[in-house]
Structures are given as C-alpha cells and as structure tokens.
Amino acid sequence: MQHLKGAPLVGFRVVVGSDDAGYQYKQAIVEDLNQDPRVAEVIDIGVHEGTLHEHSYPHIGLAAAQKVAAGEADRAVLVCGTGIGMAISANKVPGIRATVAHDSYSVERSILSNDCQVLALGQRVIGLHLARRLVKEWLGYAFDASTPSGAKVAVITDFEHSC
Ligand SMILES: O=C[C@H](O)[C@H](O)COP(=O)(O)O
C-alpha cells in the first residue's frame, strides 16, 4: 500500500474472509474490492460455496491475521455473525489490532486512533449496504504515527515486544 501525504491511498492488498454466517456479505465485499481502483489485490481465504462449514470463524480469523502479520497483506476484512469472534481470533495474532466497527465514526477511529489492520463485521447485525459502505470508507483512512495517537498505539506494540 502506498501512502503519500495528501494523495489518495492506493495499492491495498486486502484479505477477505468469513464463516458460514458471514458468507453472503463476504462475497459482496470481495466483488466491491475487485472493482475498487485503490485495491491491488484481493485475497479471498474463504469460506467458499460448497465448503461453507469446513472452517469456522477462529480458523478464518487467525489465518487472515497471520497473512497481515507476515506482510502478505495490508489489511483484512472479516465477516461472521456478529464480527466478535473474528475480532477476538485475529487479535490473538501478535502485532494485529482488530475490531468490530458498525458505524462510520468507529471505522474512521479504528484506523486514525488505533491503527487497526483488521475490520470485523457482523452479517446478522448490520445491513448489507451499510457493510459495503463502511468497507469503502475504511480504505480511505491511513494511520499517522506522528499524531498523538501514535504514542498510544506504541504502548501496545511495546508491550507485545516485551512479552
Ligand atoms: O462470533 C461468532 C460469530 O458470530 C459466528 O458467526 C457464530 O458463532 P456461533 O455459531 O458460535 O453462534
């Protein structure tokens, strides 16, 4: 992902995943991201039609977060029934900050305040159009470590490094 100050963000590599409860929204989000000029690569890690029950939310949440932590992707968007299980799972991977966010302000702050790389959404909680809009908005924000928020996030990363 390229971040030149003042220029639009481009070149995102985005992992997308869901369990069976988030599958329809995941499919719609994959389609949207494939059409989004800011996105260079969409990595759909499932679940897939025909194998909807092969993996549950922890498998997908952990696998997506590992890709981000390994530098194979910039961000991940994950969908389950509530988003909660995906966020909990992704947060178990060192270096990952994941959150559920179902409103524009929280989506904005998840990047600008918290530098979250993972957005989790609940298909059983919000409507499809809102979910799609939130993902679109989410790609418009970039964290700036030179703001006061940078020092706060650094407390978390420093703690991780000390463990
Ligand atoms: O957070 C968990 C998700 O909402 C999942 O899709 C549903 O989990 P459950 O089947 O354990 O309720």
Q: Where do we find the tokens 């494939």?
A: 34
How much distance in Å is there from the Cα of 8 to the middle of ligand 1?
Answer: 36
Catalytic residue from among 80, 87, 119, 131: 80
Q: What is the pTM of this model?
A: 0.96
For 74, residues 6+ apart whose C-beta sits below 8 A from its C-beta are 1, 12, 13, 14, 68, 117
The atom number, within ligand 1, closest to the CA of 124 reads: 4
Within-domain flag for 126? yes
Within-domain flag for 3? no
Diameter of the chain by CA atoms?
47
Within-domain flag for 62? yes
Domain count, the chain: 1
Within-domain flag for 48? yes
What's the CATH code of the domain at 45?
3.40.1400.10
The atom number, within ligand 1, closest to the CA of 81 reads: 4
State if residue 1 touches ligand 1 by the CB under 6 angstroms criterion. Answer: no
Reported as a single tens digit per residue, the pLDDT across 5-17 is 666 688 999 999 9
Rounded (5°) CA angle 37-42-44: 155
Model ipTM? 0.97
Within-domain flag for 5? no
Q: Please determine, for residue 81, whether its predicted confidence score (pLDDT) is greater than 90.
A: yes
